[in-house]
Amino acid sequence: MIATIIRKEILLTLKDKGAFFWLFALPVLFIVIFSSIFGSAGSSTTYKVPYYDADGSAASGQFLERLGEIKGFALEAYEGGSLEEGVKEIKDGSRSYLLVVPAGYGQQVEAGQSAEIELYRDTVADEAVAPVLALLDSVSASYHDYKLRGILAGMGQNEEAIDAIMQPAISIKEVKENATKTNAVTQIVPGYTVMFVFFIMINMIQNLLKDRRSGMLSRLQGTPMKPIHYLVGMWVPNVLVVLVQSTVLLTFGQLVYGLQLGHPLAIALIVLGLAVCATGIGLMLALLVSSENMGIAMVQVIAMGGAIVGGLWFPYEFLPKAVQTIGLFTPQYWAQKGMQDVMIRGMDIGGIGWTLLILFAFGLAGLGVALLRFKKFALKTA
């Protein structure tokens, strides 16, 4: 009986071309777009720094050459015309910033005076300007060090002594504990996989309400079918769809962006837990909502709201503290955390126990509510 309903649902799903777009094509599109924007297909970001050399001296050339050598930044000579035109572009918002070496810079350097470098910037582009400001501070500090070294050498200190004097009071040692390099792809691929999995709930709500509206459920109740047969029969195909959907999206991330999936069985269990969770909640919603529109609205709230507070769109650590606390109560947070634990931190099954427990608990609670609710749901056909 259950197998018959499952078989029928799979046949209907395979004939529903629209579902393929929502479940597979759209998430792939999102992953591609956001990986391109934030991850440059997995490579690190390079900031382009436009500059205008009004001095044109050997000293200004040396300064710019030094800036250009710093990793992560690429200098681009401003080719828009005069300095006035460059400043006008910033004022009208078409450019965020422009680095200017003013006329007289070389003379000031040769005279041993403090030379100014100008950074024209749009006051509302703080985020875009911040890395460039940090770069300039760093270069300025290195010039300061160079000057100090000159003074110390003039005072008769040898190289060894100068090195000892210039030694910073503290130094930062970076210790990378993750098994795999973290980048935008390790956030985007699992994030959008988890987010789009929850949209299966729309399919479930539509199919169950359609069965009731059309009288199909009534008809099936006139057969030897039991409520549990119907619910399991309508639930399992959606679990299978989510398993295929997640496999396709994660494999896409692996093949196209080199995403490291980590322990295969651990990832497979998280995907299974995610499938049970999303479809269990979907089944519960289908039997609780009074109309399709209401159901779709609730799915949007759960899927999109959970994506935001669960850290699917932005790394969880970037979220405000209050939002982080709310996120802990969403299955999306646990699914994403579980996937990143396996992909980035190299955990195996032993490390994802809580994730699995919470995901399966959400799903089974949904199934339980659906079973309790079935009689009332079916009565509405009458």
Partner 1 sequence: MTDVLQVRGAKKSYGSHQALKGVDLTVKPGSCFGLLGPNGAGKSTMMKLLTGIIDPDQGHIEVFGLNIRKELSAIHQLIGYVPQDITLYEKLSGKQNLTFFGRMHGIRGTELKKRIAEVLEAVGLTERAGDEVASYSGGMKRRINIAAALLHRPKLVIMDEPTVGIDPQSRNHIFEMIRKLQRDGVTILYSTHYMEEVEALCDEVAIIDHGRIVSQGGLRELLELHAVKAVYAEAAGVSEPPVVDGIVKATQEGKGWVLECDHPLSVLSALSAKWAREGVTVKALELMQPTLDSVFLKLTGTTLRD
Binding stretches for partner 1 (CB under 8 A) = 1, 4-5, 7-8, 11-12, 15-16, 214-216, 218-225, 378-379, 381-382
The nearer residue to partner 1, 66 or 219, going by C-beta atoms, is 219
The nearer residue to partner 1, 16 or 292, going by C-beta atoms, is 16
Rounded to whole angstroms, the Cα distance separating 66 from 328 reads 46
Number of other residues whose CB lies within 10 A of the CB of residue 377: 19
User: How many residues are recorded in the chain?
Assistant: 382
Which residue's entry shows tokens 């440059």? 40
Least distance from partner 1 to the Cβ atom of residue 97, Å = 57
The nearer residue to partner 1, 12 or 151, going by C-beta atoms, is 12
Least distance from partner 1 to the Cβ atom of residue 19, Å = 12
Closest CA to 196 of 83, 306, 356: 306
The nearer residue to partner 1, 44 or 214, going by C-beta atoms, is 214
Least distance from partner 1 to the Cβ atom of residue 26, Å = 22
99: β partners: 51, 119
The nearer residue to partner 1, 7 or 147, going by C-beta atoms, is 7
Phi, psi of 190 (to 5 degrees): -65, -35
Give the amino acid at 147.
K
Rounded to whole angstroms, the Cα distance separating 272 from 266 reads 10
Least distance from partner 1 to the Cβ atom of residue 287, Å = 17
Give the amino acid at 348.
D
Give Cβ neighbours of residue 356 (< 8 Å, ≥ 6 apart): 269, 270, 273, 338
Which residue's entry shows tokens 């197998």? 3
Least distance from partner 1 to the Cβ atom of residue 236, Å = 16
Least distance from partner 1 to the Cβ atom of residue 327, Å = 39
Rounded to whole angstroms, the Cα distance separating 316 from 309 reads 8
The nearer residue to partner 1, 303 or 378, going by C-beta atoms, is 378
